[in-house]
Amino acid sequence: MSIEPAGCRDSGYNFAYLNEQTKKMIRRALLKAVAIPGYQVPFASREMPMPYGWGTGGVQVTASILTPEDVLKVIDQGADDTTNAVSIRKFFRRTAGVATTEATAQATVIQTRHRIPERALGPDQILVYQVPIPEPLRFLEPRETETRKMHAFEDYGLMHVKLYEDISQHGHIATTYAYPVKVEGRYVMDPSPTPKFDNPKMDNCAALQLFGAGREKRIYALPPFTSVVSLDFEDHPFQVQAWEHPCELCGARDSYLDEVIIDDKGGRMFVCSDTDYCASRRMAASEAAE
């Protein structure tokens, strides 16, 4: 795993595309977000050269925190080579000229959509999430004026009722991704549409976690070592997904697996969604074999 060194950037744009006024505004929102973990801070989100819903929030956060010395990693669905991750990484290579990498351990800033890397993050790393709908209560109450009050009054009864109804109707909490969490015993927060498998990694994480929702104009954050608890009931404790098989490429039993259909006769295989985790395990195995 190597680092693609910093290159020259397109001088037609300010460093990392956004002008300094805008970065300052976003950094202020970030500071507020870090000071009130899990609270959604409104910010004057800008139009970016990629569509709303394609990571504009994450891109604005990354653009505001990036320094020329940073090493950037971008993943989508856990993989560095999915099309949108490629596109965002190219955007920052062009506008910021920063070094990029696919190796989780080498990155200082990781922008992600839908996954948290399997490898534990360290105190010198920042994880930036792309968030489509930042409001965990949105599908229970569509009005912002209402949900804002519910957060202010810490009125999360509706969410517990929803989870309870899931259990009474399906025998399970039927939320498998974007599974709501409570932050430092105060705000209920949307972890972005990561599978609930990743929720435990958010808790007490050594890295700073920043969440950007561009279209909805909200930023929120988890400072390092913040308590993040997935909502559950005493008799229905929170559980993560488990697979019957290990990854068919690297043999991992502790990672989140993607299902790949390999023929039209029902054949399928399960492989790590985190491509860097899978590749480094395979490399370690082949080195050990030599």
Residues serving a catalytic function are 38, 247, 250, 272, 278
| Closer residue to other proteins, CB minimum distance, 138 or 160 | 138
Whole-number Å distance between alpha carbons of 67 and 44: 22
DSSP 154-207: T--HHHHHHHHHHHHHHSS----BS--EEETTTEEE---S-BGGGHHHHTT-SS
- Residue 107 CB, shortest distance to other proteins, in Å, is 18
Residue type, 261: I
Cβ distance to other proteins smaller for residue 77 or 227: 77
List strand residue ranges (DSSP E) for 92-147, in order.
Answer: 99-101, 109-113, 126-130
Torsions phi, psi for 288 (to 5 deg): -65, -35
- How far apart (Å, rounded) are the C-alpha atoms in residues 219 and 112? 15
Interface with other proteins (CB under 8 A): 13-14, 17-19, 21-22, 42-49, 51-54, 56, 76-79, 81-87, 90, 113-115, 132, 142-145, 170-172, 174, 176-178, 193-197, 215, 217-218, 241, 243, 248-249, 256-260, 262, 269, 271, 273, 275
Q: Report the nearest approach of other proteins to the CB of residue 144 (Å).
A: 6
Supply the minimum distance, in Å, between the C-beta of residue 114 and other proteins.
Answer: 5
Q: Which is nearer to other proteins, 77 or 106 (CB)?
A: 77
* 88 touches 59 (CB < 8 A): yes
Shortest CB 123 distance to other proteins, Å: 26
User: CB-wise, 171 or 185, nearer to other proteins?
Assistant: 171
